[in-house]
């Protein structure tokens, strides 16, 4: 997929700092790589045909720690080259890092050649950063016969080690990493469910609320060696979910935010957005994160923000019937118009959607409003059935119906949703009405990846893996016939293979996230053929 002039395995064996030192030695430079100066590594993201985001953070003095607001202004030079030894520089420039941006550096490097691999680094005085590798996307319309992505979500520092990142960085067949949200967690030390059993502790110890807090937490996560290696190896395409701000966030607040003790929600949200923009290799338009990337004639990827514009979640019980309120939204009207316009006008074979919460219905049971409407009204439950999780699209069925009906009216058959959030593995066809499946068919498909470390069903229930969950999985699939695969206990990641004839997801599950050297096993594979909107089991790719 990508040429390997700077081997991922070499990068991992010697560490990102040593990789930077090796690149310097090849140029004959007298400068030295400094883990102290570039303590948080390097990263790239959002690859376009002619541009890519380059990122690092400098620590120009001992007191210039994340969130401190201290440290001098520092001139940083960045260099981009097709040559791993930097004998020829394709692009370069300088930028000033200061306490105003928490000494982070983010460059939108332009003028790149499409479908081309690049290496990049940063220089402060005679100190040179580790070397990173990135790649420009193929041009729109350019024949593209293959793409492969690593897909991850829900990486809680306290939940275990980031073995999923280590295994992805060791591969040599990926174009980019899709991170579908919950890159970090906002909870105070030990306050996330089952965090007390994990091997690591959050910093700061308090729940993060202020700009300084969010900067410190971002800084802590970016000291993880496996995370640094994966950032240095591949460009990332990331979107936030709720924990980058606070649990179960919505437009006007969050479940894990108390205005009486934590102040105004808008102030806290703005602090989280600013820190995310500073610390992540994402291309944002002000505070707007949803965006679209295209990869030749093969795929278009729409990355959604399903937290900033949504209505407040419905609480189970007396509020159930309000799920059916047509004014409730998960996307907000502007983002929905952007999404539907993109999906219906796309010129690529596949339309991929980076989707932070599950869109396939999971209902107990799925009901047909035409035949059960009187009963559901009498019982005070939603007309399509009681949702497994109202924080997902099931809590906003009008928005989901509008989107799926638009896809159907446009004749689109190759829409694939890529999802995180729920710490478990799922593969599902997406019908407009779950009660009518399979007779009425499906509109799209969805692949849901497990958490990197965040607690899943067995851990939340405090039981050994694979004791209770198999029965739950069987009940879910027997009730919701459009769900092809569900596994509720394992952590890991996905690998998405995109070709003109089919898209396939492979699920990989870690043996033990508490072990920094954990092994991994391929757990399942599902394939959706072009123009079918139906998935089926598939052999390993």
Query: pLDDT tens digits for 296-351?
Result: 999 999 999 999 999 999 998 878 999 999 999 999 999 999 999 999 999 999 99
Is the domain of 260 the same as that of 230?
A: yes
Q: What is the mean pLDDT of residues 32-50?
A: 87
Instruction: Kindly state whether residues 64 and 156 are assigned to the same domain.
Output: no
- Domain assignment present for residue 53? The answer is yes
pLDDT for 23 beyond 90: no
Report if pTM > 0.85.
yes
pLDDT in the model for residue 365: 92
Strand order in the sheet with 291-295: 291-295, 299-303, 350-355, 415-419, 444-448, 425-430, 483-487
Q: Is residue 140 part of a domain?
A: no
Q: Per-residue b/e over 340-364, b at no fewer than 16 CB within 10 Å? A: bebbeebebbbbbbbbbbbbbbbbe
Q: Which residue has the tokens 């982070």?
A: 104
Closest CA to 360 of 311, 417, 322: 417
Name which of 115, 121, 167, 177 is nearest 141 in CA terms.
Answer: 115
Domain of residue 12, CATH code: 2.60.40.380
In a shared domain, residues 219 and 240: yes
Query: What is the model's pLDDT at position 21?
Result: 32
How many helices (H) and strands (E) the chain has is answered by 11, 27
The confidence band for 197, taking pLDDT boundaries of 50, 70 and 90, is low
Give Cα separations from 142 to 52, 148, 227 (angstroms): 18, 17, 32
| Inside any domain, residue 3 | no
Domain boundary among 79, 113, 135: 135
Residue 28 shares a structural domain with residue 164: no
pLDDT band at 419; cut points 50, 70, 90:
very high
CATH number at residue 225: 3.60.21.70
CB 68 within 8 A of CB 39: no
Residue 199 has phi, psi (to 5 degrees) of -90, -5
Same domain, 176 and 92: no
Burial class (CB in 10 A: 0-12, 13-18, 19+), 401: middle
Tell me the per-residue pLDDT of 338-391, one tens digit each, with 9 for 90 and over: 999 999 999 999 999 999 999 999 999 999 888 888 878 877 889 999 999 999
In a domain, 1, yes or no: no
Angle at 41 between CA 448 and CA 218, to 5 degrees: 60
In this prediction, residue 318 carries a pLDDT of: 78
In a domain, 395, yes or no: yes
In angstroms, the CA 108 to CA 284 distance is 11
Q: Is the pLDDT of residue 11 over 90?
A: no
Annotate 177-202 with b (16+ C-beta within 10 A) or e (fewer). bbbbbbbbbbbebebbebbeebebeb
Residue 411 lies in a domain: yes
Residue 374 lies in a domain: yes
User: Are 330 and 407 within one domain?
Assistant: yes
Do 194 and 90 lie in a common domain? no
Residue 521 scores a pLDDT above 70? yes
pLDDT over threshold 90, residue 88: yes
- pLDDT in the model for residue 381: 86
- What integer pLDDT is reported at residue 143 of this predicted model? 98
Determine the pLDDT at residue 10: 29
Q: What total of structural domains would you count in the chain?
A: 2
> Is residue 141 situated within a structural domain?
no
Domain boundary among 135, 164, 179: 135
> Is the domain of 410 the same as that of 431?
yes
Q: How far is CA 425 from CA 105, 355, 358, 479, 539, in A?
A: 35, 14, 11, 17, 17
The pLDDT assigned to 377 comes to 83
Q: Is the pLDDT score of 5 beyond 80?
A: no
Same domain, 247 and 356: yes
Point out the domain boundary residue: 135, 163, 180.
Answer: 135
Q: Are residues 436 and 380 in the same domain?
A: yes
Identify whether residues 216 and 126 lie together within a single domain: no
Q: Contact at 8 Å (CB) between 95 and 145?
A: no
Averaged pLDDT, 229-236: 98
Question: Is pLDDT above 80 for 469?
Answer: yes
Contact criterion met (CB below 8 Å) for 53 and 46 = yes
Read off φ and ψ for residue 143, nearest 5 degrees.
-55, 125
What mean pLDDT do residues 196-208 have? 89
pLDDT interval class at 193 (50, 70, 90) = confident
The pLDDT of residue 17 is: 35
Question: Confidence class of residue 199 from pLDDT cuts 50, 70 and 90?
Answer: confident
Nearest Cα to Cα of residue 42 among 169, 117, 130, 163: 130
Give how far Cα 255 sits from Cα of 153, 251, 315, 391, Å. 20, 12, 11, 11
The range of the structural domain enclosing residue 237 comes to 147-537
> What confidence tens digit (pLDDT) does each residue in 143-176 have?
999 999 999 999 999 999 999 999 999 999 999 9
CB 415 within 8 A of CB 443: yes
Say yes or no: 116 and 256 in one domain: no
Question: What mean pLDDT value characterizes the chain?
Answer: 92
Q: CB within 8 A of 499, min separation 6: which ones?
A: 145, 146, 298
Q: Whose CA is closest to 39, among 66, 14, 13?
A: 66
């Amino acid at each position: 997929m990508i040429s390997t002039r700077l081997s991922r395995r070499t990068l991992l064996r010697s560490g990102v700092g040593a990789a930077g030192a090796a690149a310097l030695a090849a140029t004959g430079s007298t400068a030295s790589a400094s883990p102290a100066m570039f303590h948080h590594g390097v990263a790239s993201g959002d690859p376009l045909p002619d541009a890519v985001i380059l990122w690092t953070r400098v620590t120009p003095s001992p007191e210039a720690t994340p969130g401190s607001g201290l440290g001098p202004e520092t001139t940083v030079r960045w260099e981009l080259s097709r040559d791993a030894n930097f004998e020829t520089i394709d692009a370069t420039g300088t930028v000033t890092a200061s306490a105003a941006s928490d000494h982070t550096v983010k460059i939108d490097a332009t003028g790149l050649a499409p479908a081309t691999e690049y290496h990049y680094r940063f220089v402060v005085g005679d100190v040179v950063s580790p070397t990173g590798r990135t790649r420009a996307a193929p041009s729109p319309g350019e024949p593209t016969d293959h793409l492969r992505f690593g897909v991850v979500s829900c990486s809680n520092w306290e939940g275990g080690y980031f073995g999923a990142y280590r295994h992805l960085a060791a591969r040599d067949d990926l174009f980019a990493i899709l991170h579908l949200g919950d890159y970090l967690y906002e909870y105070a030390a030990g306050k996330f469910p089952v965090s007390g059993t994990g091997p690591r502790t959050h910093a700061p110890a308090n729940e993060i609320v202020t700009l300084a807090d969010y900067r410190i937490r971002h800084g802590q996560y970016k000291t993880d060696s496996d995370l640094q290696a994966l950032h240095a190896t591949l460009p990332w395409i990331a979107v936030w979910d709720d924990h980058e701000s606070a649990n179960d966030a919505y437009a006007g607040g969050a479940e894990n935010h108390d205005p009486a003790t934590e102040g105004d929600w808008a102030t806290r949200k703005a602090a989280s957005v600013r820190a995310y923009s500073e610390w992540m290799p994402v291309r944002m338009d002000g505070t707007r994160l949803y965006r679209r990337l295209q990869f030749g004639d093969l795929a278009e990827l729409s990355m959604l923000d399903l937290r900033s514009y949504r209505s407040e979640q419905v609480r189970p019980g007396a509020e159930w019937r309000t799920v059916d309120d047509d004014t409730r939204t998960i996307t907000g009207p502007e983002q929905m118009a952007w999404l539907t316009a993109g999906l219906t006008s796309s010129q690529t074979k596949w339309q991929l959607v980076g989707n932070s919460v599950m869109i396939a219905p999971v209902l107990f049971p799925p009901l047909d409003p035409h035949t059960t409407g009187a009963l559901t009204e009498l019982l005070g439950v939603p007309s399509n059935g009681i949702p497994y999780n109202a924080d997902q699209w099931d809590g906003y069925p009008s928005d989901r119906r509008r989107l799926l009906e638009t896809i159907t009216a446009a004749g689109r058959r190759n829409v694939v949703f890529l999802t995180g959030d729920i710490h478990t593995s799922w593969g599902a066809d997406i019908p407009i009405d779950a009660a009518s499946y399979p007779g009425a068919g499906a509109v799209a498909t969805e692949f849901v990846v497990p958490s990197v470390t965040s607690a899943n069903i067995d851990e939340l229930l405090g039981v050994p893996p694979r004791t209770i969950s198999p029965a739950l999985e069987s009940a879910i699939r027997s009730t919701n016939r459009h769900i092809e695969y569900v596994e509720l206990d394992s952590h890991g990641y996905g690998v998405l293979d995109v070709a003109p004839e089919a898209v396939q997801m492979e699920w990989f599950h870690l043996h033990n996230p508490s072990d920094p050297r954990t092994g991994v096993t391929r757990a399942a594979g599902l394939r959706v053929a072009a123009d079918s909107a139906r998935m089926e089991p598939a052999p390993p790719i």
